[in-house]
Amino acid sequence: MGMSAEACHNGGGQFFRTACVTLQQCIDARPREEEDGYNPSFEEWALAEGVEIYDPSDQEQCERAREALDYDADYYNDYEVCETFDALLCDEFFEDVQFLQDLASNGPVQFEQVKYNEIV
């Protein structure tokens, strides 16, 4: 419901963490290899940071994904976490990293001396 444990307690209710299905679906919806928008650098980062969620009922996976996206492990609003993930998909940082990796994979950069011809 997007309600924190504190708000639930203040309302006289009992707070139970639900599975992070929303967050899993959001993360799974990212572009995959051979799809438009796929970025190998972003994918490498996501896997290295533990953003992938295989079982939404496994709270450790959910917590690890939230923390990798700079939220508290038990952050209550997975919609907000998802918005952050989506914003990172379009972050120019990963485009720049991919550009540099592609550049490096093509070998050393070759420079050509430019000759200046004076116009008279």
pLDDT tens digit string along 59-98? 999 999 999 999 999 898 899 999 999 998 888 888 887 7
pLDDT at 114: 85
Indicate whether 45 belongs to any domain.
Answer: yes
Indicate whether 93 belongs to any domain.
Answer: yes
48-60 tens-digit pLDDT: 888 999 999 999 9
Q: Which tokens in the block code for residue 52? A: 């992938």
pLDDT at 115: 87
Indicate whether 39 belongs to any domain.
Answer: yes
Q: Which tokens in the block code for residue 86? A: 């989506």
Separation between Cα atoms, residue 80 and residue 120, nearest integer Å:
63
Model confidence band, residue 110 (pLDDT cutoffs 50, 70, 90):
confident
Which residues constitute the domain of residue 48? Answer: 5-105
Indicate whether 23 belongs to any domain.
Answer: yes
Separation between Cα atoms, residue 19 and residue 29, nearest integer Å:
17
10-21 tens-digit pLDDT: 666 665 556 789
Indicate whether 115 belongs to any domain.
Answer: no
A 10 A CB-CB count for 112 gives 5
pTM above threshold 0.75:
no
Indicate whether 118 belongs to any domain.
Answer: no
For residues 39 and 98, is the Cβ–Cβ distance under 8 A? Answer: yes
Indicate whether 116 belongs to any domain.
Answer: no
Model confidence band, residue 3 (pLDDT cutoffs 50, 70, 90):
low
pLDDT at 71: 95
Indicate whether 62 belongs to any domain.
Answer: yes
Domains of the chain: total: 1
